[in-house]
Amino acid sequence: MGGRGDDNAAYGHTSFVRSASRFTDRVTADGRDGWPVEAGRYRLVVSRACPWASRAVISRRLLGLEDALSMAIADPIQDDRSWRFTLDPDGRDPVLGIRYLSEAYERRESDPPGGVSVPAVVDVPSGKLVTNDYQRLTLDLATEWSALHRSGAPDLYPEQLRDQIDTVMAEVYEDVNNGVYRAGFATEQKEYEEACAGVFRRLDLLASRLAGQRYLVGETITEADIRLFTTLVRFDAVYHGHFKCNRWKLTENQVLWAYARDLFQTPGFGDTVDFDHIKRHYYRVHTGINPTRIVPLGPDLAGWRSPHHREELGGRPFGDGTPPGPVRAEEQVPARGRP
């Protein structure tokens, strides 16, 4: 998720096309792109508002990479230079020493095209952006960073299931993850209706799949569940109203609502979600479709903690592993952002 202030104002006035990641270098165990996995060398920059960045936040916590990969949290409200570190003292990231994520981009390439997006991995010694490839980043955290995983970390991308996981993730991305954006930023009725219909067609298929199994692929949490969750957890709060994906609410779909609550209550998922950041970002930044910048009071978030009974379907969230420990104090979601 990225863009400058003027880009955000244009949403709803010009056709929406998601930009491909400009910087696709990978941080790998063998360092083949020039960026070897190394504890403490890189900083993950995220926004808790952004579903693409939230994938990385969840993966990092599930895998126990907090000591190996530090994390910076950007202000959910962007200005004309995009993501900024105004949540930190003096408005600077304490590790990178910069006020705007764009500064790391510019150290990599002057006047980079495609906007400034999160998640982003920055090389701390040089201050340069390494990658903003949100599609590949979490897969590499699960595989290339394995030597630095915590003891008991789950296998989020098991080799024997990768073909199935890739297929499910591709369908979820096209129709759900990106589909809500195509509906929300549509400029013509037909464009909106096609995107919105695609969102709910896929959600209906996913509900059928999940009616008889706890997780999307196999008996444990995988990358596929993370990618669906980050859209579902935002659905009623922003996509239903702000993006007009309003055939029904998540809370009205028995299977998907129970599935989402199951994940939300699993350590590593709900404890990374900040509903305050999510709502303020979407409703205040996308002035092209919400010019008043009014942030709605709802929905009621109390239901996220209610029983889901999905454990009756079997499955083991972490397989042979264990849940992550408590969230570090400096990374806890503030009370106003929690149910």
User: Which are the catalytic amino acids?
Assistant: 50, 181
Q: Crossing angle, helix 254-264 and helix 223-234, to 10 degrees? A: 110
Integer Cα distance of 334 and 112 in angstroms: 34
Q: Who's near 272: CB < 8 A, 6+ residues apart?
A: 48, 54, 57, 58, 61, 327, 333
Q: How far apart are CA 331 and CA 283, in angstroms?
A: 24
Q: Report the relative pairing of strands 128-131 and 70-73 from DSSP bridges.
A: unpaired
Closest CA to 132 of 143, 115, 119, 142: 119
* Integer CA distances (angstroms), 10 to 13, 48, 140, 251, in order: 5, 22, 33, 31
Sheet order of strands, 128-131 included? 70-73, 42-46, 120-123, 128-131
Scanning the chain, the segments in alpha helix (DSSP H) are: 5-10, 51-63, 102-108, 134-143, 162-172, 179-184, 189-210, 223-234, 254-264, 275-285
Q: Are 119 and 44 in contact (CB under 8 A)?
A: yes
Tell me: cis bond preceding 299? Omega within 30 of 0 counts: yes
Tokens describing residue 281: 């970002």
| Partner residues linked to 120 by β-bridges | 45
Residue type, 125: P
DSSP 8-state assignment for residue 162: H
